[in-house]
């Protein structure tokens, strides 16, 4: 072999090894590698609220193998007065997983490093916060509903890994963003299927997108049992049901190692005002959700160092 070729071959070998290492590192950047925490938060054993209420046997995401109990279904169907029965629900879920991945992709576990998550709410306290760079620095950025980033980059960042929504708050996504649906009724599951296929034509209390642009292979659906657990265990049954924002935080407790919380909390009048719009209903407060109690739980988690709460401006 020519002596001149040897350095080139050696260099190519180094590049190959580097690509393999980079690929392994990239696999660690996902947030769904494992429901078991790494050593990052081994000190959580000292955190009273976290230890007493976290139940890892409750799976956050629906799969084709999920066995929802009828008791959990009956709790869930009361949220938005679902009249159809348990058998109809099960038949709908069966159809759902003919279109979307039957098992949520949890990726590869990576015990060498912490998975950091930014859970970004929509509170007006984000305005002027200049949190954008800190939010984008995290491995995973979870945003909610149709909250925009364009025009607010300095305060809320630019990246989105997971977009949590329900049909009335849906927005189009790019091909790399995961759609995480919180279903509040059977129609929401039907909407998800039709929004990706034939188009949805039903009605609700707010306008609905007939079709949605998103990657169907990255769709995940929250388990109704997880929603009940968020309400009955974490909120001790207070309020009609938890807000999407609160349930998203509980989701993060199950799947992230290090959690940074942004954009939570009411304005000075006790209303849930958004950073991207002027509040018209000054008597909204926190709607059917126990907003003050939710925030107290979040603050306790922050006081116990389970999450880091960035309270904004």
Q: What integer pLDDT is reported at residue 112 of this predicted model?
A: 61
HSE-CB for 107 with a 13 A CA cutoff? 20
Residues with Cβ within 8 Å of 232's Cβ and at least 6 positions away in sequence, in order, are 75
The domain defined by 30-310 folds into sialyltransferase cstii, chain A (3.90.1480)
Order of strands across the sheet with 162-165? Answer: 219-221, 178-181, 162-165, 140-144, 116-120, 258-262, 308-310
| 9-40 pLDDT per residue, tens | 444 444 443 433 333 333 444 444 333 343 46
Residue 118 clears pLDDT 90, i.e. is over it: yes
- Max intra-chain CA distance, the chain: 81
pTM to 2 decimal places: 0.84
Residue 258 clears pLDDT 80, i.e. is over it: yes
Ranked by mean pLDDT, the top range of 111-120, 170-179, 271-280 is: 170-179
Torsion, Cα of 60, 64, 66, 70 (10° steps):
120
Q: Is 254 a catalytic residue?
A: no
Catalytic residue among 178, 231, 260, 289: 289
Question: Confidence band (pLDDT; 50, 70, 90) for 267?
Answer: low
Rounded distance between C-alpha atoms, residue 221 and residue 265, angstroms: 26
Q: Is 241 a catalytic residue?
A: yes
| 42-94 pLDDT per residue, tens | 445 558 899 999 999 999 999 999 999 999 999 999 999 899 999 999 999 99
Enumerate the known binding-site residues for substrate. Answer: 80, 122, 145, 205, 241, 245, 265, 274, 289
Pairwise pLDDT comparison (190 vs 265), residue with the higher score: 190
Percent of the chain scoring above 70 in pLDDT = 78
Residue 253 clears pLDDT 80, i.e. is over it: yes
């Amino acid at each position: 072999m020519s002596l001149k070729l040897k350095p080139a071959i050696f260099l190519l070998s180094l590049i190959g090894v580097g690509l393999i290492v980079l690929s392994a590192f990239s696999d660690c950047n996902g947030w769904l590698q494992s429901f078991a925490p790494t050593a990052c938060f081994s000190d959580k054993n000292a955190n009273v609220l976290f230890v007493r209420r976290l139940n890892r046997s409750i799976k956050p995401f629906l799969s084709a193998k999920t066995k929802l109990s009828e008791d959990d279904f009956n709790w869930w169907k009361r949220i938005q007065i679902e009249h159809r029965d348990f058998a109809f629900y099960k038949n709908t879920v069966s159809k759902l997983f003919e279109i979307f991945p039957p098992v949520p992709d949890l990726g590869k576990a990576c015990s060498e490093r912490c998975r950091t998550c930014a859970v970004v709410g929509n509170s007006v306290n984000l305005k002027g916060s200049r949190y954008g760079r800190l939010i984008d620095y995290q491995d995973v950025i979870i945003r909610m509903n149709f909250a925009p980033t364009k025009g607010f980059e300095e305060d809320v960042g630019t990246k989105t890994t997971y977009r949590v929504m329900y049909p009335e708050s849906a927005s189009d996504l790019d091909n790399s963003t995961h759609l995480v649906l919180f279903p509040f009724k059977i129609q929401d599951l039907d909407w998800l299927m039709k929004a990706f296929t034939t188009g949805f034509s039903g009605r609700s209390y707010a306008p609905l997108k007939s079709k949605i642009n998103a990657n169907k292979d990255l769709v995940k659906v929250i388990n109704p049992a997880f929603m009940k657990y968020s309400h009955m265990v974490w909120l001790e049954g207070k309020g009609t049901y938890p807000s999407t924002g609160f349930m998203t935080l509980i989701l993060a407790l199950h799947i992230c190692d290090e959690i940074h919380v942004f954009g939570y909390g009411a304005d000075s009048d006790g209303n849930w005002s958004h950073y991207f719009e002027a509040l018209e209903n000054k008597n909204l407060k926190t709607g059917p959700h126990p907003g003050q109690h939710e925030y107290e739980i979040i603050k306790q988690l922050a006081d116990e160092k389970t999450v880091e709460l960035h309270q904004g401006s």
